[in-house]
Each structure stands twice: as structure tokens, then as C-alpha cells.
């Protein structure tokens, strides 16, 4: 199974994505959920036209996707039903006001701050995975 990297970023009132390995393929949707739903069909159509001679090579196996968020606004917008800027600030151990500035684009977080946010999210996900009911 081939794993393709999907770069997701904020675009207007929704999100857009591109795949560095696939020339010219860009998709935009209102939410990350809709983007994920439509990604495979659009990609199959794009590959069929772009790589006509190599179609069988590309289409012979299913795709696996690795979603990478380019910025904090894309992450918040993409998972707005699960997380908001206040909870992200708490999970990351950051000031809520500063997080709000990152989410709205007033400020851009440094690489170190972005890493801190990612680490906080992964730690939170690990905690959720460890939950079990009797």
C-alpha cells in the first residue's frame, strides 16, 4: 500500500490540500472530514488523466494517506467539532490569548511552539487511548 503525504492548510472558510508526490492535484472542501471523504475519488480521476501511461502502476494498489497540517488554523478548522482554541491552549500548556492569535493568523507560531502544540496533542491522544470502561 502506497502512503501519500497530504498537506492540509486553511483556505478561506474551509481547508485545502495538496499532495507533493502528485503533480497538480489540489482539493478544497469546507471541512477536513469532507476533504478526506472526497480525496480518493478526486485523486483517482486526476491520476487517470495525468499519468495515462502509468495508470496501472498507480491504481494497482490502494492509497494510504498521512495528513500533515501546515498551520494551526487548519488544524482547529479541520477538527472544530472535537477541539477548539481554548482546549488546544490547555492541552499544550499555553496562554489562551496567544493561542487565539495563532488561530486567527495575527501571529505565527515558531517551530518550537508548533512542536509544543503537537506534543501536547499526542500526549492527550495517548491519554484518551488509555481509557477503558468496566
Residue 90's pLDDT is: 93
Same domain, yes or no: 9 and 66: yes
- Tally of structural domains, the chain: 2
Exposure b/e, 43-60, CB count within 10 A at least 16 = b? beebbeeeeeeeeeebee
Structural domain of 33? 1-70
Same domain, yes or no: 123 and 94: yes
Same domain, yes or no: 45 and 99: no
Q: Dump pLDDT digits (tens) for 66-87.
A: 999 988 888 887 787 788 889 9
CA distances from 61 to 10, 31, 46, 76 (A): 30, 27, 16, 32
Contacts of 41 (CB under 8 A, 6+ apart): none
Residue 77 lies in a domain: no
Longest distance between any two alpha carbons in the chain, whole Å: 56
Residue 119's pLDDT is: 93
Q: What H or E segment, with its residue span, contains residue 17?
A: strand 14-18
Per-10-residue mean pLDDT of the chain, 134 residues long, equals: 88 89 88 88 81 70 86 82 88 92 89 92 91 88
Question: Residue 25's beta-bridge partner residues?
Answer: none
Same domain, yes or no: 52 and 14: yes
Residue 95's pLDDT is: 93
Residue 51's pLDDT is: 66
Amino acid at each position: 500500500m502506497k502512503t501519500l503525504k497530504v498537506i492540509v492548510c486553511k483556505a478561506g472558510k474551509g481547508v485545502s490540500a495538496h499532495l507533493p508526490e502528485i503533480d497538480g492535484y489540489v482539493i478544497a472542501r469546507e471541512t477536513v472530514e469532507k476533504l478526506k471523504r472526497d480525496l480518493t475519488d478526486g485523486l483517482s480521476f486526476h491520476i487517470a488523466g495525468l499519468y495515462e501511461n502509468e495508470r496501472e502502476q498507480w491504481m494497482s494498489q490502494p492509497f494510504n494517506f498521512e495528513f500533515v497540517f501546515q498551520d494551526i488554523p487548519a488544524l482547529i478548522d479541520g477538527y472544530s467539532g472535537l477541539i477548539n482554541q481554548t482546549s488546544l491552549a490547555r492541552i499544550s500548556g499555553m496562554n489562551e490569548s496567544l493561542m487565539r492569535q495563532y488561530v486567527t493568523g495575527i501571529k505565527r507560531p515558531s517551530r518550537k511552539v508548533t512542536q509544543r502544540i503537537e506534543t501536547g496533542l499526542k500526549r492527550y491522544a495517548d491519554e484518551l487511548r488509555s481509557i477503558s470502561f468496566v
